[in-house]
Amino acid sequence: MAPELLGKLLIVGAGDRVVSGRIVETEAYTSDDPASHSFRGETPRNRTMFGRPGRLYVYRSYGIHWCANVVTGSAGDGQAVLLRALSIVAGLAIARDRRGDRTFRDLANGPGKLCQALAIDGTHDGTDVTTGGSSIMIVDDGVPFPPDPIVGPRVGLSKAVDVPWRFRSR
């Protein structure tokens, strides 16, 4: 579920073009949820959601942005966790290059921004993030994460994105 992913590192790229960030905000989506892509059953687009867990489900949002989810349910469940915000750890210059000159926090404090900063797109759909060796993976580096993240039981973000992590943005 969502708390499992909080605090872990998302690493994308290879060699000297690696950008990584700590996951600071997530949201879970299940097939029970009317807002979930999996709610109305499997379609060509969301087939990854119904596949094996540990893979990345990437889709295009509003025709503009990419959004990345990690499949968390068993095959057939249609359960995934949306990566909502990151704190950039490595490759800061590269991320800023892709996102434009913005404040540190503004680099990846949203699903679409996160994908742009780490260069995640549709070609990553279905990628296994639990095994090393691929150009994108999620690892646990053992850094403790502040407890009690604010996650509403209902879907629909009514609040502004305020990341539960202390940033030093200037």
Partner DNA sequence: AAAGAGATGGTCT
Partner DNA sequence: GACCATCTCTTTT
Of 63 and 144, nearer to DNA (C-beta) is: 63
Nearest to 5 by CA among 65, 90, 68, 91: 68
The sign of the CA dihedral 20, 107, 113, 78 is positive
Of 14 and 43, nearer to DNA (C-beta) is: 43
Of 116 and 127, nearer to DNA (C-beta) is: 116
Nearest approach, Cβ of residue 152 and DNA (Å): 12
Of 11 and 114, nearer to DNA (C-beta) is: 114
Nearest approach, Cβ of residue 115 and DNA (Å): 8
Nearest approach, Cβ of residue 41 and DNA (Å): 8
Contacts with DNA by CB under 7 A lie at 29, 35-38, 40, 43-46, 49, 57, 60-65, 67, 69, 80, 82, 99, 106, 110-114, 116, 155, 157, 160-161
Nearest approach, Cβ of residue 67 and DNA (Å): 5
Q: Which helix (H) or strand (E) holds 116?
A: helix 111-118
71 to each of 50, 64, 75, how far by Cα in Å?
8, 22, 9
Which tokens hold the place of 33? 């949820």
CA–CA gap between residue 85 and residue 162 (Å, rounded): 10
In contact, 50 and 57? CB cutoff 8 Å: no
